[in-house]
Amino acid sequence: MKQAIWFAAAAGLLFGTVGAQARTKLAALPQRESVDIRMDNADFTLIEEERILTLRKGLNQVDFAWQAVSIDPDSIRLTPLDHPNGVRILNVSFPPDEAALVWEIASDGDWAERVRISYLLDQIDRLTAYKAVADKDETKLDLTAYLIVRNFSGEPFDNARIRLDADSVFERDLADGQTRRLLWTQNRALPVTKVWTWDSALQPWDPEQLERQNIGIPVRYRLVNEKAAGLGRAALWPGKVRLFQDDGHDSTIFLGEDNLSFLPVGEKAELYIGDSRDIVVTQRKIKEEQINIRRNRREQIVLYDTEEVLTAKIENFKDSPAVLTLIERIPGQWEMKSCSLPYTRKDAETLEFEITLPARSGDKPAVVQLEMHYQRKNVRP
């Protein structure tokens, strides 16, 4: 098997030279005893490998070369494990125009020394991908996480321990050019909430203005990374989620896919699965007039308030109840005079309504009406 990273040890007594001669007269070519590929850092992969070096008492010279492999040379470390006090690294030399180095190692005895070599390796990384299967009621989600390890580093690894965190270790061969998808975690029946979201800044207000076109209302599954939800041990890594739903016939349908962002413990994520056409929102502004007008000496308006009324009709054509998140925005300074539904103020200009819609009755959609009467204050022309 081709190995781009190779090792040669030459005892100083036999080969007192470093350079071209010693590099071709190999005394030993110790294989890797073990290798750990540490992938907990999203940007850098740390390789820790153990080899047994045959050291002689006195000076030893050890070659480490990494042709066609991108290693950060400053990151290369060698640690003796069996005789940490009896084996000392004196210096490291780098030959010209070569991806290689030569360690000069002093040993107090003739030892077969286990050493750990670590380095940061390029072109080897990991991705996370998820498969999520919702139950038929869309209240529970089976979430399977896969780890995708891509090795284009130029270096093959046999029996590598691929480490992600304290709990997650995989033992696999990883050839150069190989991509492996590994089953990482499986979480069954995670509670999810299906949410429909209509945002007044993003969606058209009046479907009647759009001839023969549906207005899609984005649908998402809301998932919380918490113990109560069966998660909460660690952050979820970012990755693509493919969503399926149990179709009730021992099979599934594909719902859609979305990217999950980095999700720390305690945070919630919403996975977009597509648009719903079964809920229709028709919003109109029915009043906007200037009041409390302040003019300067030349009769120009310098400051005024507004009186505004906004209505929204929400229709549910589904045969099941739904919860719609309706987002309204009022810029600047404002005061609510009356509002037909309760809301949460998310920030200075964002109002969020969580509206529970009953199922349709017979052929008629369930309808909920919203009316907001508010004044905007201190508006300047």
Partner 1 sequence: MKRYAVLLWMTGLAAVSFAKVDLVTLPASESVQITIYESADLTLVRDSRPLTLRQGTNQLQFSWAGTLIDPTSLMLVPQKAADQVDITDLSYPPNTVNVGIWTLESRQAGRIPFEITYLTSGFRWRAFYAGILSENEKTMRLEGYVRVFNQSGEDYENAQVRLIVGQVHLLDEIAELARRTWPYGRPGEGVPGMMPQVQMERARLAFGAVKAMDEIAMTAKPKEIRKEGLSEYFLYTIEGTESIPNGWSKRLPSFQAEAVPVVNLYKFEEEMYGPSVIRYLYFFNDAEHHLGQTPIPGGSMKVYRTVSKEGHLTYEGGCEIKYIPVGQEAELNLGPAEDVLVKPKLMDYKTDNYRFDDRGNISGWDEIRTVVIEIKNSRPMPIRLEIKRNFPTPYWTLENRGDSEKVFEKVDLDTVKYTLSMPPQSARVIEYVLTTYHGVRQEDWTRQNQ
Cα–Cα distance for residue pair 306/107, rounded to 1 Å: 86
Please check whether residue 302 is in contact with residue 296, taking contact to mean a CB–CB distance below 8 angstroms.
yes
Cα–Cα distance for residue pair 99/179, rounded to 1 Å: 25
CA 27, 33, 37, 38 torsion-angle sign: negative
Cα–Cα distance for residue pair 144/217, rounded to 1 Å: 27
Site string for partner 1, 315-354 (x = CB under 8 A): -----------------xx-----------xxxxx-----
Q: Is 34 in the site for partner 1 (CB under 8 A)?
A: no
- Compare residues 95 and 207 and give the one whose CB is closer to partner 1: 95
Among positions 114, 116, 150, 313, the unique one binding partner 1 when judged by CB under 8 A:
116
* Closest of 131, 130, 116, 125 to residue 162, by C-alpha: 125
- Compare residues 223 and 255 and give the one whose CB is closer to partner 1: 223
CB 101 → partner 1: shortest distance, Å? 8
Among positions 2, 25, 88, 136, the unique one binding partner 1 when judged by CB under 8 A:
88
Please check whether residue 196 is in contact with residue 216, taking contact to mean a CB–CB distance below 8 angstroms.
no
Contact set for partner 1, span 193-232 (CB under 8 A): none
Q: Is 109 in the site for partner 1 (CB under 8 A)?
A: no
Please check whether residue 37 is in contact with residue 82, taking contact to mean a CB–CB distance below 8 angstroms.
no
Among positions 6, 26, 34, 44, the unique one binding partner 1 when judged by CB under 8 A:
44
Site string for partner 1, 263-302 (x = CB under 8 A): -xxxx--------------------------xxxxx---x
Burial call 248-282: b when 16+ CB within 10 Å, e when fewer: eeeebeebebbebeebeeeeebbbbbeebebbbbb
Site string for partner 1, 239-268 (x = CB under 8 A): -----------------------x-xxxx-
Among positions 28, 59, 323, 327, the unique one binding partner 1 when judged by CB under 8 A:
59
Site string for partner 1, 144-183 (x = CB under 8 A): -------------------x--x-----------------
Among positions 148, 175, 195, 303, the unique one binding partner 1 when judged by CB under 8 A:
303
- Compare residues 36 and 270 and give the one whose CB is closer to partner 1: 36
Among positions 148, 235, 309, 339, the unique one binding partner 1 when judged by CB under 8 A:
235
Rg (CA), the chain: 33
Q: Is 381 in the site for partner 1 (CB under 8 A)?
A: no
State residue 69 phi and psi, 5-degree precision: -130, 140
Q: Residues near 97 by Cβ (< 8 Å), separated by ≥ 6?
A: none
Please check whether residue 168 is in contact with residue 161, taking contact to mean a CB–CB distance below 8 angstroms.
no
Structural element, H or E, at residue 24:
helix 20-24
Place of tokens 């204050």: 377
CB 216 → partner 1: shortest distance, Å? 28
Place of tokens 């979430």: 143
- Please identify, among the stretches 112-120, 179-187, 319-327, 367-375, the one whose residues bind partner 1 according to the rule CB under 8 A: 112-120
- 255: helix, strand or coil: strand
Cα–Cα distance for residue pair 56/277, rounded to 1 Å: 77
Q: Give the footprint of partner 1 on this chain (CB under 8 A).
A: 12, 16-22, 36, 38, 40-41, 44, 46, 48, 58-59, 74-75, 77, 79, 88-97, 101, 104, 106, 116, 118, 120, 163, 166, 235, 262, 264-267, 294-298, 302-303, 332-333, 345-349, 377-378, 380
